[in-house]
Structures are given as C-alpha cells and as structure tokens.
Amino acid sequence: MSVLGLKVIVIGGGIGGMAAARALALRGASVTLLEQAEAITEVGAGLQVSPNGFAVLDALGLGDELAAGSVRADAISLRDYRRGEVLRLNLGRLANRHYYFTHRADLIGLLARGARDAGVRIRLLQRVERVEPGDRPRVHTANGATLEADLVIGADGLHSRLRPELNGADKPRFTGQVAWRAIVPNHAGRPAEAWVHMAPGRHLVSYPLRGGSALNLVAVQERKDWTEEGWNHQDDPDNLRAVFDDFGPEAQDMLARVEEVHLWGLFRHPVARTWQRGHCALLGDAAHPTLPFLAQGASMALEDAWALADELAATDGIDAGLAAYQARREARARKVINAATGNAWKYHLRSAPVRFAAHAALKLGGTLAPSAMLHQFDWLYDHDETARP
C-alpha cells in the first residue's frame, strides 16, 4: 500500500520513535510525534551503534552525520578484572566497519533534526494517558485532548501506555542485577575500544565518546534486592567505587574520576505476545525490552522502525502491513534478547577454577582462530534490515 497521506501518531521521542517517524514521513505519511518531556534531550549516557543499526541510519540518510559525530570502534576487549586482556575482537576484520560509540543525546538530536526535516510535527509536553485501538485509533493525553489517526505507534519504552492495551498487564521480574552509568574525562587517551572487565558477580564496560574526550562507564553488580525500576536514580560515586574496589589499576583509574553517577535495577520483561492490533503497533523496548549485555537496544529499535515503515509501504492494508512487521521482527528480537541474557553469566563467573578455565579457552580461541571468534557474531552485525527479505 502507499503510505502517502496516512495520518500517523508516534508516541515517544526516543531512538525508535524518531526513526520510525522519519521513515514514514519520507514515504509520504503525515506524522505527529508526541513526547512528554519539555525538550528533546537525553541525560548524559553513551551507546553503541553496531553495523546492523548503522545500516538503518544510513538508509534514512543520516549515516554520514552519525559517523562524523561518533567514535568508530576498533576493537572489543574482554579483560579479567585483575589480570588484563583475555580476548580481543578486532572489529577491523568485519566486512562492515560501521561500528560506532556515540552519545545518546547526539543520536537523539540527529534523529530529531532528521524527523523535522522530513516534515514530522514534534509536539512536546504531551503525556499520553490512554490509547484506544480501532480502525481510527484514539490517543488521550493528560491535558484532556483526544487525537485520532489512521495508525498509532507506541515507541514509549518500558512503561508504554499502548502495550497494556494490546497485551494486558505484565509483571517485570528483577534480574538480580543493578547497574551504574557515568561519563568521565578520557585523560588517559584510551583508544577506540570497548573494554569489558569481568569479575565474580560484576563487570565494568567502558568506551570513548565525542572524539575520545570522554569515557562512558556502565558497571553491573549482582544483588538480591531492588525496589524501583528505571535508570535515573542518582547515587554516591563512593558506593560505586566500593563495589569495584578489588579491580585492577585500569578500572581504578576510571572509577576515581566519577563525579556523578546514576544507578538502576535491571528488570526482565517478557517479549510482548501482541505487537499490533487495531491499527496500533509497538516497537523497540515497548515490544521487546532487552538487557544491556549485547549493546543492541538502540540498534533493535532502529531495525524495528525501518521494518515497520517498509512493511506498511509494501503490503496491502494497514492490518496486513502490521502483521507482516511482527512476523518479520519477532524471531530476531527474541534471538538477540536471549543472546544478551546469556552474556551476563559469562561475564560474572564466580568460581575461580571455572573462571580461569573459561578465560583460558577464550584466550586460546583468540590466538588460534581470531577470525572465528569474531565471526560468531555475523548473524547479528551482518544483518541488514533495509534489504527486503
């Protein structure tokens, strides 16, 4: 079908929402994006855009700008928390070298400009209270307004207002892990590499941002109790340093520079059973939230955004297009989520003999067959959602 003139409301001004809005507007849809915040901004945090996510940005005409404002990754280094490097994945061996470390605010800003340039109307301070699916779905906002459209897209994250309308309520399960996030100066001149320091029950991820001037830190600890979900809880940097005080000098140097840090609990949400009904659709975390252990949250949202617009443009009718979108995306989303979940225990091996054996196996594999170690991720990084299946 042609999406020319299709009236679309996108709920949520994050990565997936902005990308879907631009993708549909470029195809001729009339798109309004509702964002509850007073400005399109993101607090300080980094993220990784792997080649599969970059493929979508490039197809949206934003690839060059993303590359210019980001750090292109050279390697991923798995490191023992005290003994140094265990396995080095040289990203220069990838067929597609477009793997970037970027600041979330920079990516959101790029997508917002791209959406506006495509004709998307971005309305701020629009908190959605309720969505009514149907042939003409309705969106009810907190200020008393009711908006109608041909299609409503819920790109509103973990606490989506649309997801319960399509699936009913679900209860997230605490994973037994919490994470801190911080950005510190890159005084040591760290190269364009992501380092993962692995330890019993903990790990620390770090990589450079913004031309190498800063380092993004994500530190994860296994813990029994947590009450609040979300990642915007400010914590004392000394609490972070105390949990990781047995790490080696590399980590201590980074942690010593932390002046502001946020802490959040990691919760496991099931993949939504129903992604679409009544001319409404979910994408990104609203449909399939993932844990941050494969660095695929942003790229999965980008892939969803492209696939949704692509299927609507290629399929006869909104209902058929949305059904094709879920069929196209669900199996891949589940595979990525399962892979991310599996990485957590690999990073956190508690038994010293088991950890020694596992790290020795990784080091041997990296020495004898470095290409094979890297190409185990071909299914992930070589995927191009912009190439029709």
The C-alpha atoms of residue 286 and residue 325 are separated, in whole angstroms, by 15
Residues 6+ apart with CB under 8 A from 330: 271, 275, 288
Residues 6+ apart with CB under 8 A from 252: 245
Report the DSSP pairing between strands 75-80 and 7-11: unpaired
Phi-psi region of 75 (alpha: psi -120 to 50; beta: other; left: phi over 0): beta
Helices and strands (H, E) in the chain, number of each type: 12, 20
Please report, in angstroms and rounded to a whole number, the separation of the first and last CA atoms in the chain: 18
CB atoms within 10 A of CB 253: 14
Catalytic residue among 81, 99, 207, 325: 207
DSSP state of 164: H
Task: Tell me if residue 385 falls in helix, strand or coil.
Answer: coil
Query: HEC profile for 96-112?
Result: CCCCEEEEHHHHHHHHH
Residue 207 designated active-site:
yes
Give kind and range of the element (H or E) at residue 233.
strand 230-235
E-strand spans in 91-172? 100-103, 121-123, 128-132, 138-141, 146-148, 151-154
Give kind and range of the element (H or E) at residue 9.
strand 7-11
Residues 6+ apart with CB under 8 A from 267: 158, 172, 173, 174, 175, 229
CB atoms within 10 A of CB 278: 18
The C-alpha atoms of residue 302 and residue 192 are separated, in whole angstroms, by 23
* 178: nearest Cα among 215, 246, 233: 233
The C-alpha atoms of residue 60 and residue 252 are separated, in whole angstroms, by 41
Q: Which residues are catalytic?
A: 207
